[in-house]
Amino acid sequence: MKKVHYQLVNVFATEALFSGNPLAVFSDASAISPTEMAALGQQMNLSEITFVTKSDEADAHVRIFTPSYEMPFAGHPTLGTAFVIANGRAQLTLKMQAGLIPVRCAGEQITLTANPPSYRAGPEVAELAAALGISASQIIGTPRFVNCGTEQLIVPLADAAAVASCNIDITQFTRVAQNQAGLSGALVWARQTQMDGSETIVARYFWDQYGQAAEDFGTGSACANLGGWLLAENTPTPFALTMEQGHGIQRIARLQLHVDAEQDIHVSGRVVQIGSGEFTL
């Protein structure tokens, strides 16, 4: 028998303690087998958990597990893992299946630099609208698959009301939102003007978990892919946006997207530690 320890953090947290996207980080996973990693992902039932081991190429090797599969890259696990293992370092490089991911640490504010985007055409608008449970007229731009580490469908909607009204038909969604790895996930988003005149992105991220529609608290990989989508639309750089996610599940996450003049995509968020624990395997 062996004891394995984890830290529990919230990533993309707001001022509220129970906000953002929760993550468990096993900062010393040298004694945990891949089978045990997958079992712990299912046991904890968080959107993702991470396992850290040594790397000859980077500051750490990180594997990311959902309750049902391993992911090559995800945003909130990258930021949360860097926060846990930084030990005062301002910069880290994490080795993941998607490659080497640079991360900057400034206290609770953690920033990753995503891979350059690649693209694939999205589904027909009518089919996509039916899968999302909205009218085709509420999709106002070009849906496309974007891959800055994990391929996802990015869907621009008319307004916040359209985002809120999405009601997934999981059978159709699984078909139209399936990426090249056979997994289904989509970010629906819209621009919203605040009282002070500033602009925020309001978003929801849906994915298929065990044949059921699941909604994520705060999806950093999709935020990076949104940056890629905006680049494909020839958005002038540099630009910065705040994305808020989680209204549909009563838990807000706040994500910062910055695309610099060189078109590098950066995703930032506040990370706070809220607990720790151990398993006996």
**99 lies in the same domain as 13:** yes
Contact present, 189 and 166 (Cβ < 8 Å): no
* Largest Cα–Cα separation, the chain: 58
Contact present, 258 and 226 (Cβ < 8 Å): no
Q: Does 48 participate in catalysis according to the annotation? A: yes
Q: Which secondary-structure segment (H or E) carries 7?
A: strand 3-11
**134 lies in the same domain as 250:** yes
**Pairing state between β 199-209 and 239-245:** parallel
**183 lies in the same domain as 85:** no
Q: Which of 45, 47, 53 is nearest to 4 (CA)?
A: 53
**82 lies in the same domain as 131:** no
**96 lies in the same domain as 206:** no
- Within the chain, residue ranges assigned H as helices are 34-44, 75-85, 125-132, 160-165, 170-176, 220-232
**94 lies in the same domain as 66:** yes
pLDDT of residue 195: 74
Whole-prediction pTM: 0.95
pLDDT of residue 212: 87
**94 lies in the same domain as 150:** no
Q: Which of 68, 76, 70 is nearest to 29 (CA)?
A: 70
In which domain, by residue range, is 178 found?
Answer: 118-263
What's the structural domain count of the chain?
A: 2
pLDDT of residue 194: 76
**131 lies in the same domain as 214:** yes
pLDDT of residue 210: 82
pLDDT of residue 222: 98
Contact present, 83 and 108 (Cβ < 8 Å): yes
Tens digit of pLDDT at every position of the chain (281 positions): 899 999 999 999 999 989 999 999 999 999 999 999 999 999 999 999 999 999 999 999 999 999 989 999 999 999 999 999 999 999 999 999 999 999 999 999 999 999 999 999 999 999 999 999 999 999 999 999 999 999 999 999 999 999 999 999 999 999 999 999 999 999 999 999 877 777 899 999 999 988 889 999 999 999 999 999 999 999 999 999 999 999 889 999 999 999 999 999 999 999 999 999 999 99
**77 lies in the same domain as 213:** no
pLDDT of residue 198: 78
| CATH number for the domain harbouring residue 87 | 3.10.310.10
**213 lies in the same domain as 248:** yes
From 48, 108, 124, 233, the catalytic residue: 48
pLDDT of residue 106: 98
**137 lies in the same domain as 50:** no
**97 lies in the same domain as 179:** no
Q: d(Cα 173, Cα 117) in Å, to the nearest integer?
A: 23
